[in-house]
Amino acid sequence: MSSELPAPPLSALPGGPAREVLDWLYRLVAAIELSPSVAVHSQDRNGVVRFWNHACAELTGIPAAEAIGQPLVALVKHPGQQREFDATIDTVWRTGEAVKAREWHVELRDGRRLWLQSSHFPVPGDGATAQVFCMEIDVTARKKLEESLRQAGQVFDHARDAILLVDREHRVLAANRAYTELTGYPAEEVLGVELPSLRLGVQDRAFYDRLRDRLDGHQHWEGELWSVHREGNTIPVRAALSPIIDAGGAVTRYMVMLTDISERRRAVEEARHLAEHDPLTGLPNRILFMDRLEQAMAAITRRQRQFALMFIDLDHFKAINDSRGHEVGDAVLQEVAHRLRRCVRRVDTVSRLGGDEFVVLLADLGGVDQAGHVAATILQSVSRPIDTPGGAISLSVSIGIAVCPGDGEDEKTLLRHADVAMYHAKESGRNAFHFFSQEMNSRVLERVAIEERLRRALDNKEFELEYQPEIDIGSGRTVGFEALLRWRDPERGLLKPDAFIDAAEESGLIVPIGLWVLREACQQGRRWRDAGFPVMVAVNLSNAQFSHGDLPGYVDEALGASGLAPEFLELEITEKTIMNGNAATLEALRARGVKLTIDDFGTGFSSLSSLRRFPLSKLKIDRSFIGDIANEPEAAAMIPAIIALARSLKLRVVAEGVETAEQLHYLQQHGCDEYQGFYAGTATGAA
């Protein structure tokens, strides 16, 4: 037997014959010797091994024959803990009390390191402790597992990515520190919360239901989401969700990893921006422009709309580079790019193709006139002097315009046609724009020319007013005058509104022109009153005037400057203006004491209910009905109906375009209040 276990004195053992005691002792030693899992050894007071069981030999790889009689320290060392171990053994010798279940990190003679759980207890002999026994269990595997779990916990808590551990019901079991940093929610607030309630991403419940089905099928899912921070802002994240499966193949938990990809996305966007934009001007380059052009081509096929492509080239730019240097040339290109951007809408695209060539894509074009208007705006904007370190530079551009689909059904054709049109603009003297279609070019050029002449007409005071009398049918007395706008064009003579009013409205010039008319008419009304002839003066208002600026303020200004009392001013509005819902403006005007008349009644789509809502004073029957009195009596039957309608609304009725005595007689018979037209004549007010 590989032991030197001393028998205790009989007085220390339970009662009974000595042989029975010895038999018990030998059986105990045999049991310890043959124990398969507990390593047992003993040492005397000098630290020499006296007992070494089979399990101890298996654990250390040292046979009992080699171990017994050797100092324990020569067989088993306790690196970093040797003093503590020696003190523990000394305590057992000194106190005679056991020390149970201590864990030691030991080094064996062959260099292996193990974790052992040891219990030391004294064995008495001759009235004192004879040996100290040690019972040891190898807990290395458990310690490694604990260390692995500890390290895993540290990895979990210190991972850069946000990690959630959730159960089969998708309720959070654990959340690491990175999750709190990413979302703003501390772990204690999300524990037990169901995954869809965490605002993990901007997704609906159906998304999570589909995700659950996928995970339950043991499938990994990965994709990009927009996570929502506690403060409400969204963060782009890369999400990876994986099922955790036990040895039996069943899903026990799920792991969710969230990676903040804000910086990555920002880097990608920056790289894409650099690849798709001109480094000098920041405008889209040819690559991005061609992509947007392709999209525009696809859109017009689906939506049956049109767009315009403008090819822009700086005139004589090479001379600027040669005379001022490339640094000044670059500054000029940057300023031109800035001005081009300000001339278009956000939905449009301005691109620099290279050198001094730019292109503009006007998306979703309302009409070709719009392209001409933008081109004229660009010409005017670029022509303003550009300040540079070497002094101001004036330059111009030539613009070619192609409209899709009419001028080309593919990108290359459209660009080529716009380029051809640009060269036509250069050949015609530069500082101009040219449409690829000659017919379109002529029409748009005429419209732009009218706009330019209208601007000049305002500056040069080329507008004037004629006044058409409004006659009371019953008494024949003149009760008012309607101000009629005329344009005395130096090239074409006296023009009526039909020749220019559409261009004025589309360009927005109707607002300053209308303000001029209002001021002039009020001043004339005041002169008539001062001359002892207090009559109403009527001014037509365009629908555009209700959409631009402060119309009641303009009226206040005109009345204040002229001194005309508000009750002598009559503002005429169309049915279109009524139907556009300008009730607040009309109420504000009526509150000032101004009279309101609905003009050209019968040509629009106003209803009786809508007319009742507005503070009107008069109703004017359109001249088209008056012309039917002699030619189409059946159509003229509308006139009594209109007069009856006006009476129900307590409005006075004025007939426009009365040219014959027959027409006037018909109106008298049916109770019309006033008339105006060629039969009543016209007058010219003092300027």
pLDDT of residue 43: 92
Give yes or no: residues 557 and 443 share one domain.
Answer: no
The last residue of one of the domains, among 228, 245, 265, is: 265
Determine the length of the chain: 687
Instruction: Flag whether pLDDT at 9 surpasses 70.
Output: no
Residue 350 structure tokens:
């301005």
pLDDT of residue 687: 32
Give yes or no: residues 226 and 179 share one domain.
Answer: yes
Q: What is the dihedral of CA 485, 491, 492, 497, to 10 degrees?
A: -20
Instruction: Flag whether pLDDT at 13 surpasses 50.
Output: no
Instruction: Flag whether pLDDT at 296 surpasses 80.
Output: yes
How far is CA 334 from each of CA 88, 357, 387, 624, rounded to the nearest angstrom?
84, 12, 12, 56
Give yes or no: residues 250 and 291 share one domain.
Answer: no
Cis peptide before 552 (omega within 30 of 0): no
Instruction: Give the CATH number for residue 555.
Output: 3.20.20.450
First to last CA, the chain: 140
The last residue of one of the domains, among 265, 296, 318, is: 265
Instruction: Flag whether pLDDT at 190 surpasses 60.
Output: yes
Cα(563)–Cα(534) distance, integer angstroms: 13
pLDDT of residue 563: 95
Expressed as residue numbers, the domain containing 73 is 10-141
Instruction: Flag whether pLDDT at 611 surpasses 80.
Output: no
| Amino acid, single-letter form, for residue 541 | L
Give yes or no: residues 64 and 205 share one domain.
Answer: no
Give yes or no: residues 301 and 412 share one domain.
Answer: yes
pLDDT of residue 587: 86
Give yes or no: residues 434 and 558 share one domain.
Answer: no
The last residue of one of the domains, among 265, 297, 313, is: 265
pLDDT tier at 219, thresholds 50, 70, 90: confident
Cα(608)–Cα(44) distance, integer angstroms: 122
Instruction: Give the CATH number for residue 88.
Output: 3.30.450.20
Tally of helices (H runs) and strands (E runs) in the chain = 27, 26
Give yes or no: residues 292 and 339 share one domain.
Answer: yes
Give yes or no: residues 542 and 677 share one domain.
Answer: yes
Residue 595, C-beta contacts closer than 8 angstroms, at least 6 positions apart: 536, 567, 569, 570, 571, 617, 618
Cα(227)–Cα(239) distance, integer angstroms: 9
Give yes or no: residues 529 and 636 share one domain.
Answer: yes
φ, ψ (nearest 5 deg) of residue 276: -110, 0
pLDDT digits (tens, 9 = 90+) for 298-313: 887 666 678 999 999 9
Instruction: Flag whether pLDDT at 657 surpasses 60.
Output: yes
pLDDT digits (tens, 9 = 90+) for 548-581: 668 899 999 999 999 999 999 999 988 777 766 5
pLDDT tier at 632, thresholds 50, 70, 90: confident
Give yes or no: residues 203 and 338 share one domain.
Answer: no
Instruction: Flag whether pLDDT at 27 surpasses 60.
Output: no
Q: Strand (E) positions, 413-557?
A: 432-435, 463-472, 478-489, 493-495, 536-540
Matching residue, tokens 């506690």: 230
Give yes or no: residues 370 and 502 share one domain.
Answer: no
Angle between helices 551-562 and 583-591 (to 10 degrees): 20
On whether residue 452 sits in a domain, the answer given is: no
Instruction: Give the CATH number for residue 292.
Output: 3.30.70.270
pLDDT tier at 637, thresholds 50, 70, 90: confident
Count Cβ atoms below 10 Å from residue 386 Cβ, excluding itself. Answer: 19
On whether residue 147 sits in a domain, the answer given is: no
Average pLDDT, the chain: 84
% of the chain surpassing 90 pLDDT: 38
Query: In total, how many domains does the chain have?
Result: 4
pLDDT digits (tens, 9 = 90+) for 496-540: 998 888 888 877 888 899 999 999 999 999 999 999 999 999 999
Residue 404 structure tokens:
């899709």
pLDDT of residue 556: 94
Give yes or no: residues 209 and 298 share one domain.
Answer: no
Q: Is 481 buried (19+), middle (13-18) or exposed (0-12) by CB count in 10 A?
A: buried
* pTM, full prediction: 0.48
Residue 303, C-beta contacts closer than 8 angstroms, at least 6 positions apart: none
